[in-house]
Structure formats: C-alpha cells, structure tokens
Amino acid sequence: MIVNISVDEEGNTKPNISTMVVNEVTNRDGHQSEEPKVYTQVGEGSEERASVRKENNEIIITVANKNTDTFDLALRKFITKVNDNAPSIDREPILNLASLGALNRSGTANYYHTKNALTVEKGDIVTYTIRVYNEGNSHGYATVIEDDIPDGLEFVEDNEINKQYKWKMINDKNQITEDINEAIKIWTPYLSKERGGESNLIKAFDEETMDVPDYKDIQVVFKVTEPKSKDRIVENKAQIVEARDYDNKSAKDIDSTPNVWIDGEDDQDTEKVRVKYFDLSLSKYATKTIVIRNGKEEVVNTGNGQEKEKIAKVDIKTSEIEDVVVKLEYLIKVTNEGEIPGYAKEITDYIPEGLKFIAEDNPLWKENNGKATTESLADTLLMPGESAEVAIKLTWINDENNMGLKTNIAEISKDSNEYNTPDIDSTPNNMNLDEDDTDDSQIMITTTTGQIVMYIVLTVTVLGILVVGIIVVKKVLVK
C-alpha cells in the first residue's frame, strides 16, 4: 500500500492512499474474496472500498468488505399443477431485471408472476411450489417453512409429494398432530441443514456471477373442497418460520420477521384459487289455454316464454260453467347458470287450489298429496349455459265460485353434479320463491254473462231508430 502524506497551508498533515492492494479479505462465512483487489486514489473520507483518516498522529485505514453480511431470504408461492396439468398461463415467478439495482444496494428484488385466482373444481388436486430465494450477500438455510390449511383446501396426507417434502400437520398449539381435523397448518424442515446438509444451502447473491438470486424449491399438495366463502376464493399462505446462516445459527433477516405474518414482508406469499360454482335456475310460464265447448277445442297461445310473463286470461260464460272443459298448459324451463355440469333430478309442481291433475294429460308426471313430480330431466346433463324443458297440464275444476287468479308454483326438488357441490344460491325442495330454482305462473279465470253483448245490440238499435226519427221530423218541418 502506498500512502502519501501532504501538508496544508496551516502545517497540518493529511494522509491519502494513492494505491492499495488487498490480498485477502475474509467474510464472516469463512470465504475469501475471489482475487486481490486494487484501489487507487482513495482519499480521506472516501466512501469507496477503503478510506483513510488521521487520529492522534496515527494513520487509520478502513477496508470495506465486499461481502458485508446482509441476510435476506425471500419466499414466493405459485401453482404448478392442477391434477396432472400445468396452468394454461405459467405462474412461475420471473425476476424483474429492473430491480437488480435495488437488490445490489438493499437486498430486495421484485418478481413478475400472476396472482389472479386460478379457477378449479371441487375435488381437484392442486400442487403448489414454494420457492425460497437468497437476496442477501450471506449464505443461509430456510430451516422451517409453514403453509396454512385454509377453508376450501384439504391436506392430502398420503400424497407422495407431501411425504417426500416431510410435511407435518400442526394444531393450534403449535404441536405436531396426526389428526387432520385438528390441523390448522403444516410445517416442513426439508430445506434445513440437518435434513440435507450443505446441499440445502441457499447461496448469497453475487452480482458478478449471478443473473438471478440462488433459490431452493419445495412442493405441497392440497385437495379442493367446498369453500364457505361467498366469492368461493381460497387463499393459501406460506411463510418462513425459521432461517439460519451459513454456520447453522439463527439469523436476523434484514427486512422480514420469520414466523410473524406482516403484510408487505418478502419472506411470505399467498396463492389463490377460485372454486367453480353450481347453479340451476327454473322458470315457469303459462303458455296455452285450452277451452273445450261441445267437443270443440279452442287453443290460445299466450305468447309467454320470455323473461317477463304476462298474466294469461280465460273467460267462461256463466251458461257453460258446468259443461266447459278448461285446461291450462305450463312450460317449465331449467337452465344451468353455473360453471359445472349438472342435473335437475326431480321437479315438483305445487298444484294450486281450484286446479286438478289428470294423469292421462301428464304421462311424465306423478301426483301425490297435491304435488306433481317428474324425473323426465333426471338423465339430461345440462352443461353451463344449456337449458331443458318439460310441460305440465292442469285442469280447472268447474265451479261458479272457482274464479279469479290461479298461481301455480314449481321448483327443482332434487339436483346433482359429479362434485356434490350444492347450488350456490338455492336449496332444493324448500319452496322459496326468493330463490332462482323456484318460479310461479299466474292465470286469471273470469265469467261473462252474455248480457253485455245484448245491451250493445239494443243500444245500437235504439240509436238507429232515433236517428231515422230525427231525419223524418226534419223533412216534415222543411215541407
């Protein structure tokens, strides 16, 4: 090392290093620097690799170690498989190269990877990858990693991947449990030094030799179950519970607190799935009125069958109440408004007072205690967006007091799908008109006496006579 001593105008000496060669620099990990480093023109107070100052007539030289300890492990979590298939859009994190500068200065990097909830189905087997990066310049181990067991996911104990990565179920007392009903999370020491020796060491980031930070991966497998959340989104969290340094001693992370979930810290991450929902709806329409007088059938199409229904109307003369036959035909339409295929295994029609069920008119239906049921759509698989229809015909009970509005209700009383997923917004067989698997249809039955027509004829006749009389009188007066 060459040190130049200069004297200022007041006679004070000022040391300066013009050239310094550092042959060996050893960091706390016990590793030497790669090659001797040469520093030139390093002046007093310099912020470079070396600095020099004078204290009590002694020259103090400080050499900054390139490998000054910065311990920083970061965790990323992403889905790699659903059943045996990779997601259509890769969810693996990619280093944001623009953050390399920040990584070099402060040990913090950014990664690109989609965090939109991945759509899955109940019963799917989802494989998650947990990746631990070393963003610091000190080697380390991710000794214990934790993953929670949220509502909507079930830890698969006998899965080979879960066995491989040594996951253990943990209860709410942070104790290992063999009872899956007690487990609220899982832990693994798979990346610890005890488990894998130095092969589990996650190496410090070296900007001169690395394009991306070193990392280690582990995986965990869950089965999708029925979530309780209304949005059906299931969030799974993972974090580093314990981290150790190169010597397998407890290490303090520069920007995170292990085993404490603090929003914004980089030793933790989440991944989300959205479970597909099942939803069958039912709509009912009065589509035809059929009136039979003296053996002659008169069919009127109501025009109903759209989203909005108008009330159909049947007029019956008082003179024909005892002999006329009035039949009302309804169309019942079941639509799959959900995301998974399913069946309307049974439909129930609640026969209103004043109407009756005739078996000969309804070969696909059975009647019992004022209700008619059909399984005619039981084997019709409805894909999302598809619909199927069935008709029912009810007959008016002849009675002069049996007039007015007749409200007929139908609902899906049994449904099914291969995932045993319940309907998202309806409960079959509860006759709740606020739910979309139930609907009603109305028909108005009224009487006419025929007197209105007679009055109209008489009025016209009288008016005609008056007009003729007025004309004759005028002619007489003119004469």
Single pTM value for the model: 0.74
Q: What is the pLDDT of residues 180-234, one digit of tens each?
A: 999 999 999 999 999 999 999 999 998 889 989 999 999 999 999 999 999 999 9
Per DSSP bridges, beta strands 438-448 and 312-317 are: parallel
Burial code (b: 16+ CB inside 10 Å, e: under 16) for 390-412 equals: bbbbbebeeeeeebeebebbbbb
pLDDT for res 9: 53
Q: What is the pLDDT of residues 20-38, one digit of tens each?
A: 444 444 443 444 433 444 4
Sole residue written with tokens 């609220």: 184
What does the CA dihedral 429, 430, 436, 440 come to, rounded to 10 degrees?
A: 90
pLDDT for res 109: 79
Mean pLDDT of 145-153: 98
pLDDT for res 458: 36
pLDDT exceeds 90 at position 157? yes
pLDDT exceeds 70 at position 5? no
Q: What is the pLDDT of residues 69-88, one digit of tens each?
A: 789 999 999 999 999 999 99
Q: What is the mean pLDDT of the chain?
A: 84
pLDDT for res 43: 42
Residues 12-20: contacts with CB under 8 Å, at least 24 apart: 13/54, 14/44, 14/54, 15/44, 15/52, 15/53, 15/54, 15/59, 16/42, 16/43, 16/44, 16/52, 17/41, 17/42, 17/43, 17/50, 17/52, 17/61, 18/42, 20/50, 20/61, 20/63
Whole-number CA gyration radius for the chain: 42
Q: What are phi and psi of 459, to 5 degrees?
A: -60, -45
Q: 437 and 278 in contact (C-beta within 8 Å)? A: no
Q: What is the pLDDT of residues 82-117, one digit of tens each?
A: 999 999 999 999 988 776 666 655 557 788 999 999
The Cα diameter of the chain in Å comes to 154
Mean pLDDT of 258-279: 96
pLDDT exceeds 80 at position 288? yes
Which residues have CB under 8 Å from 57's CB, separation 6+?
none
Burial code (b: 16+ CB inside 10 Å, e: under 16) for 293-323 equals: eeeeeeeeebebeeeebeebebebeeebbee
56 pLDDT tier (thresholds 50, 70, 90):
low
304 pLDDT tier (thresholds 50, 70, 90):
confident
pLDDT for res 479: 42
Q: Among 277, 285, 306, 314, which Cα is nearest to 442's?
A: 285
Q: What is the pLDDT of residues 357-393, one digit of tens each?
A: 999 999 999 999 999 999 999 999 999 999 999 999 9
